[in-house]
Amino acid sequence: MNFKIVHNNYNVLDLEKSMAFYEKALGLTEKKRVVAEDGSFILVYVGNEQAPHLVELTWLKDRTEPYNLGENEFHLALETDDFEAAHKLHEEMGCICFENKAMGIYFITDPDHYWIEILPAK
């Protein structure tokens, strides 16, 4: 029996704001959208051509409060071929939330405060 990771889910309060962030910060664009017939939720899957893995952004109509992320110990990790340019962009966007210069990595945070690790290409 084999398994393949296909997506991760992040629940978001403002779908358009989150989609704009993921496109600007990481180059991820909409690949698929599912809208509930009753309008109670929208699922938008974002990704790029670098990998088949997608991020599912879930918007729930009745949700108005920020999501409780606990200690926020989970995160996505993305590798970039131009670490310096990525760092500059994220610095300009004001979304860098933690840097570990000794390890050569940093983290950004999305509009809902999910952490995303940025790694240089190996």
Interval 21-76: pLDDT, tens: 999 999 999 999 999 999 999 999 999 999 999 999 999 999 999 999 988 888 99
The enclosing domain of 39 has a CATH number of: 3.10.180.10
Q: What is the pLDDT of residues 69-112, one digit of tens each?
A: 988 888 999 999 999 999 999 999 999 999 999 999 999 999 99
Report the domain count for the chain.
1
Q: What angle do CA 23, 24, 30 make, to 5 degrees?
A: 10
Structural domain of 86: 7-62+74-120
The confidence score (pLDDT) of residue 74 equals: 85
Is 110 a domain residue? Answer: yes
Average pLDDT, the chain: 95
**Residue 24: enclosing H or E segment and its boundaries?**
helix 15-26
Is 109 a domain residue? Answer: yes
- Residue 8, classed as helix, strand or coil, is strand
The confidence score (pLDDT) of residue 4 equals: 87
Tokens standing for residue 75: 């995160």
